[in-house]
Structure 1
Amino acid sequence: MRIVLLGAPGSGKGTQSKLIMERYKIPQISTGDLLRAAVAAETPLGQQAKAAMDAGQLVPDDIVLGMIRERLAMPDTERGYILDGFPRNLNQAQSLDDMLADLNQPLDVALLIDVDFEILMQRLTGRLTCASCGAVFNKFTHPPRQENVCDLCGGELQHRADDNEETIGNRLKVYETQTQPLVEYYQDKGLLKSVKGEGEIEDIFNAVSRILQETGDKA
């Protein structure tokens, strides 16, 4: 099952990705993780990426695609994978399709975790993180038992300075601008499936599983 996972910040994409990995025994391929690992290991692609980052530039798409190609050559991807964080725009989606066609590994599904703007704002602006253990709470949807105190370790809960309405609103608008063409692109190719990312995590995952089951049956 070869999956591109789409979803805004705060959509629960990371949670669903972990559940898919556990059930289907396929790896999540995060381009951010690939970049960090390649830079740390000083691979040829990592050195090129570091040079771009040191110059204050975005890492070119061909370098990122090269890292993805190397990752897909590893044995744990034989059953499939979840691609997270790439593509982010239309050009990247087209380049990815070209590369996967060359590898004879076309995508099976582009899965969108869809959440209304107002709910995303509430999830992100209400986020509280424990300074000690890293546990995450939300003052609207998952408040701690005691205000600003972690339920798990008693540490202090902190609200990130950039988790404010203006900053988050801008992040979501940028995401929407970049992602809408992607949604249309995968829709036109007959690959897009959408799940409403609201409600209980288990219910959302059941909907995701139904889609993946149907996709696998048709493959």
Structure 2
Amino acid sequence: MRLVLLGPPGAGKGTQSARLTEKYRIPQLSTGDMLRAAVKAATPVGLEAKAVMDKGGLVPDETVVGIVADRIEAPDAKGGFILDGFPRTVAQAEALAKMLRAKNMELDAVVELKVDDAALLARIVNRVKETLASGGTVRADDNPEAFKVRLDAYHAQTAPVSDFYAKNALLKSVDGMAPVDAVTHAIDDILESSRRPAQTS
């Protein structure tokens, strides 16, 4: 099961990824985690990434895709993987598709969690209030203003990614505002239907 999970920050991707990981016994792959691991392991692409990051630059798409390419060859990813937070742009989506083709792999599905921006912002406001009320410390990026910037960036970059996968008949949308269990069931239904053609061939 090879899956891309799309959705804005706060949509519940982490929760659903954890459930999918448990059900299908496949790893959730975060580009941030993979970058850090590759740098730590001093792999060729990791060293490339480190050189760029040390100068304060953004790691180029081809380097990120190279890190993903290495990671999905690991034993724990033989049965599949969940890509969370990648691809973020159409260029990354195209590079990912090219890399998978070279490995004779393809995605089973791209699932997008559709959520209401106003509801997400309200969640953040409530979370900040609850954190402050309990005497906790609010993270710098966990405030409505910073969150809105992240949300706007997501829509600007990733809306075209959704269109890219829709044109390739891979995109499936799920109501991310539904209860957590209902979202899980909806994703399960999508993944089961995407597996059937392969099983009957």
For normalisation by structure 2, the TM-score amounts to: 0.92
Question: Where in structure 2 are there 5+ consecutive unaligned residues?
Answer: none
Instruction: Indicate if the aligned counterparts of 1:29 and 1:82 stay in contact, CA closer than 8 A.
Output: yes
Equivalent residue in structure 2 for 1:211, among 168, 190, 197:
190
Say if 2:168 is the partner of 1:168: no
Q: Secondary structure at the match of 2:141?
A: coil
Distance between the aligned counterparts of 1:121 and 1:54, measured in 2? 34
Q: Secondary structure at the match of 1:10?
A: coil
Q: Which amino acid aligns with 2:180?
A: I
Instruction: Indicate if the aligned counterparts of 1:11 and 1:115 stay in contact, CA closer than 8 A.
Output: yes
Number of the residue aligned with 1:194: 173
Distance between the aligned counterparts of 1:41 and 1:116, measured in 2? 40
Once superposed, what is the RMSD of the aligned Cα atoms?
1.6
Instruction: Indicate if the aligned counterparts of 1:195 and 1:208 stay in contact, CA closer than 8 A.
Output: yes
Please show how residues 1-219 of structure 1 align to structure 2 within 5 Å. Answer: 1-128=1-128, 139=129, 148-149=133-134, 156-219=135-198
Distance between the aligned counterparts of 1:20 and 1:2, measured in 2? 11
Deviations 1:50-108 (A, max 9, x none): 11011111011111111111111112222211011211000010011001001011111
Q: Which amino acid aligns with 2:167?
A: D
Distance between the aligned counterparts of 1:93 and 1:126, measured in 2? 34
Larger Rg, first or second structure (1 or 2): 1
Distance between the aligned counterparts of 2:28 and 2:143, measured in 1? 29
Instruction: Indicate if the aligned counterparts of 2:108 and 2:191 stay in contact, CA closer than 8 A.
Output: no
Question: Where in structure 1 are there 5+ consecutive unaligned residues?
Answer: 129-138, 150-155
Q: Which amino acid aligns with 1:113?
A: L
- Identity across the alignment (%): 46
Instruction: Indicate if the aligned counterparts of 2:6 and 2:13 stay in contact, CA closer than 8 A.
Output: yes
- When the two structures are aligned, how many residues end up with a matched partner? 198
Whose relative contact order is higher, 1 or 2, with alpha carbons under 8 Å and at least 6 apart?
2
Using the TM superposition, give the Cα deviation of residue 181 of structure 1 relative to its aligned residue in structure 2, in angstroms. 0.5
| Structure holding more helix per residue | 2
Instruction: Indicate if the aligned counterparts of 1:125 and 1:168 stay in contact, CA closer than 8 A.
Output: no
Distance between the aligned counterparts of 1:170 and 1:74, measured in 2? 35
Distance between the aligned counterparts of 1:43 and 1:93, measured in 2? 23
